[in-house]
Amino acid sequence: MQSAVQPAISKALEEMFERIASDLSMLADRELTVSGLEVARETERPSGPGCVHISFRFGAEDGEQLRHGTLLMPLADAITLASLLMMLPDEGVGERREWASLDESLKDAMLEIGNFISGAIDAALQALGAPVTRVRFEGCQGVKEGVRPALVYTEGAPLIVGRVQVSVGSFEPFEMIAVLPEGRYLG
């Protein structure tokens, strides 16, 4: 079930996605642009459509509570970012986008991307004056098509889900999905 969210929550997600794009642009040495922000309150964790996704999990310290969230992106696009981080040429990136599993160097690069994503979310929330002590990276995992990502979460509780289209250099745009528990830290 979906419902509308307060403007402050939409603003928080807009800031998060912009910071993520900015930080990953610097990391990948390619411009990342985001467009078409959609934000809704949902009561079910969304799954990534059409392919395997990587779930970059994070925890936001909100006073005494740790609120767990995730950022989903298609595996091929996560591989693109990881390959660019490793400074591979576009031809090498294109070849790796077809891989179904990761070697150690890609795994390490994925972890670095997760750290940058969590840092960007932290910076965005701090810039908005959110009552968050810090946002920390909690690992990443592959999630099969149509499967909802693992998340410390009470089924049926309200979640804030943000979706954007992301472009990385000359590669095809893809959808990035942020899933966050509702809370005062979002505005």
Tell me the three state secondary structure of residue 156: coil
Calculate mean pLDDT across residues 140-163: 90
Q: How far is CA 64 from CA 61, 67, 104, 133, 136, in A?
A: 7, 10, 36, 10, 15
Global pTM reads 0.91
What pLDDT, in 10s, does the model give residues 152-177?
Answer: 888 888 899 999 999 998 889 999 99
What pLDDT is recorded for position 140? 94
Q: What angle do CA 23, 28, 33 make, to 5 degrees?
A: 60
What pLDDT is recorded for position 128? 79
Q: Position 5: which residue type? A: V
What pLDDT, in 10s, does the model give residues 43-59?
Answer: 889 998 899 999 999 99
Domain span including residue 155: 2-186
CATH number of the domain residue 17 falls in: 3.40.1550.10
Listed in sequence order, the DSSP H helices in the chain are 7-28, 75-85, 90-96, 104-127
Which among 85, 90, 89 has a CA at the least distance from the CA of 108?
Answer: 85
pLDDT at 142 over 90: yes
Looking at the structure of the chain, the number of domains it has is 1
Q: Position 51: which residue type? A: C
